[in-house]
Structure 1
Amino acid sequence: MNRNEIVAHIEETKSLLCVGLDTDLDKIPTHLLSNEDPIFAFNKAIIDATAAHCVAYKPNTAFYEAYGLEGWKSFEKTVSYIKENYPKHMVIADAKRGDIGNTAARYAKAFLDTLNCDAITVAPYMGKDSVQPFSGRKGKWVIVLGLTSNPGADDIQKLELSNGLAVSQSVMDSVASWIPNDELMFVVGATRPDELAKIRSRYPETFFLVPGVGAQGGSAAEVVEAGCVKGIYGLLINASRGVIYASSGDDFAEAAGRAAEKLKMEMAGAFA
């Protein structure tokens, strides 16, 4: 999925929303637990209810790995379902892999080739040889952690170096020299709109995956104001719990659809 295809789908859908599929058996409606594959049953219903209001899905691998082989089967079925039924929607494997050399190459093969995801999140703190093995695949994206939305990001990412740059900024500058811009996205948290605006000024044409909207307190409208770029948009704004767990009742899918539509409307400033 190349940049032009992403932008075209954003314009068609009038949305920047990415729905995070952080599916937890302890949180899904209890009536689904009798299904042969309750994780996939939940995901399928959420996907069908939200597809008209979003442009991407982001299954977090931890929520599938937690259930062993059966969880991985659910992950694979979820990716395949999106690809077969909503081929314009980007599928992001939120795996945060960060190893080097042959190991990184195997992770890239697993998620980008075998599982056919469009992108994978990558932790860059082992350096160049932990990031580059994920690049070089046509239509595939490397989404590198930049400045994340969690409180602990200040522990390392915001530390100031002797050159005056924060660690996160120095890392992003390095990554931008390793990966072509049409294969690279940065994770930049929604809970830091002032920082997002600064990072946008430094990378005017780079796509950002922005977590932290909804349950973590970030504002979709503020993210649009701080980071949207006219003509290329440059944002995928992720919401997970606030959408997929909008209801725990029989109406869970319909509630998720309404929550996704509400977030989509909050992003309307991108299309004004």
Structure 2
Amino acid sequence: MRYAERLQARIEATGSRLCVGIDPRPGDDGIEAVPEFLKRLVGETWEHAAAFKPNMAYFEAMGLRGIEMLGDLLAEMPDEVPVILDAKRSDIGETQKYYAHSYFSHWKVDAVTLNPFLGYDSIEPFLGWEGKGIYLLAVTSNPGSADFQRQQLADGRSVFELVTALGDRAKEEGRQTDVGYVVGLTNASGVLGKVPDAPLLVPGLGAQGGDLASLAEAGRSAPDVINVSRGISYAGDDRSFGERAADWARKISDAYGAPANA
């Protein structure tokens, strides 16, 4: 089964497009309290999740112990839920080959985010993995996406359309890995109509203030997932992780006109 097919099946099984972001931030209890936090977060939210998205930066910030925690977390993830590793790697092809082996063979994640700035040969090592996916940064959720990604070229295209052309090329070549894109909800206006109907990973909802309306109105059929991190892990209210995840899943599904499963 291809990655996009597996993700679509999960969306249909749950009625949810929620991607639960996993961004652990050690508090007063210190690093050793993080594993229990991760266990509760995954255990309470997985039934409402179309996907999980651990962010490498938060684990790397805890040093070698953080990498160990990430490895333990990935080994214990529910089989039903695809895992997108948010790594945003970018390097020459030879180095990328080892990143791909690490993520897909060793850690066995289902998909990974990549920065495509180095061009097609830098993503090629990720394209021969059956059942896996990659998400190329196309239009990110930060204001700086206007500096490069949304700039217009002389031929009328925007820079992010050069990114989506890489995914089109991989599809035309019949590559085994599915190619999707990261499109931030905060900057999606005027963008979605130019993005192929391939899987999207959509940050920017919740704490970043993105609006679901533009995405819901785009009429897309691909298995897009919308990420919420702080709004589940660090909402600052008295609800459980599961209650917050269920609430976000309902909000997203209501915007799409398809209520999430209870």
- What's the TM-score, normalizing by structure 2? 0.89
2:169 equivalent to 1:177:
yes
1:156 alignment partner, SS class = coil
Q: Secondary structure of 1:271's partner?
A: coil
SS of aligned partner of 2:103: helix
Distance 1:173 1:77 in 2: 36
2:242 matched residue in structure 1: 257
Does 1:271 pair with 2:254?
no
Alignment of 1:86-105 (within 5 A): 86-105=78-97
CA separation in 2, counterparts of 1:100 and 1:181?
20
- The DSSP-based 3-state class of the residue aligned with 2:53 is strand
Q: What is the SS of the residue equivalent to 2:109?
A: coil
2:26 aligned with 1:25 = yes
C-alpha deviations, 1:26-64, integer Å up to 9, x for none? 3xxx4xx37x83222111101111111111110110101
Matching residue of 2:47: 52
Return the letter of the residue paired with 1:255: S
What amino acid is the match of 1:266?
A: K
User: Which ranges in structure 2 are unaligned for 5 or more consecutive residues?
Assistant: none
Whether 1:5 aligns to 2:6 is yes
- Displacement of 1:263 in angstroms is 1.3
Once residues 219 and 186 of structure 1 are traced to their aligned partners in structure 2, the CA distance between those partners, rounded to angstroms, is 18
Whole-Å separation in 1 of the counterparts to 2:214 and 2:44: 25
Report the Cα offset of residue 227 of structure 1. Answer: 5.4
Q: How many residues align?
A: 253
Instruction: Note if contact 2:189-2:214 (Cα within 8 Å) is conserved in structure 1.
Output: no
Three-state SS of the structure 1 residue aligned to 2:105 is: helix
Letter in 2 for 1:199: K
Partners of 2:118 and 2:211 lie apart in 1 by 32
Match of 1:239 in 2: 228
CA contact (8 A) 2:129 2:177 kept: no
Change (3 A) 1:166 1:221: closer
1:190 and 2:192 correspond:
no
* AA at the equivalent of 1:171: V
CA distance 1:220–1:65, change in 2 (3 Å): same
Structure 1 stretch displaced more, 55-64 or 3-12: 3-12
Q: State how 1:47-86 maps to structure 2 within 5 Å.
A: 47-82=42-77, 86=78
Superposition map of 1:159-178 within 5 A = 159-178=151-170
Aligned match of 2:37: 42
Gaps of 5+ in 1: none
Evaluate the alpha carbon distance shift between residue 173 and residue 97 of structure 1 in structure 2; reply closer, same or farther with a 3 A threshold.
same
Partner of 1:134: 126
TM-score with structure 1 setting the length = 0.86
Q: What residue is the counterpart of 1:207 in the other structure? A: 199
Does the 8 Å CA contact 1:190/1:196 hold for their aligned counterparts? no
Partner of 1:216: 208
- Give the % identical residues: 35
Aligned CA RMSD, in angstroms, stands at 2.0
Q: 1:88 to 1:110 in 2, by over 3 A?
A: same
Local SS of the residue matching 2:131:
coil
SS at match of 2:227: strand
How many angstroms apart in 2 are the aligned matches of 1:39 and 1:99? 30
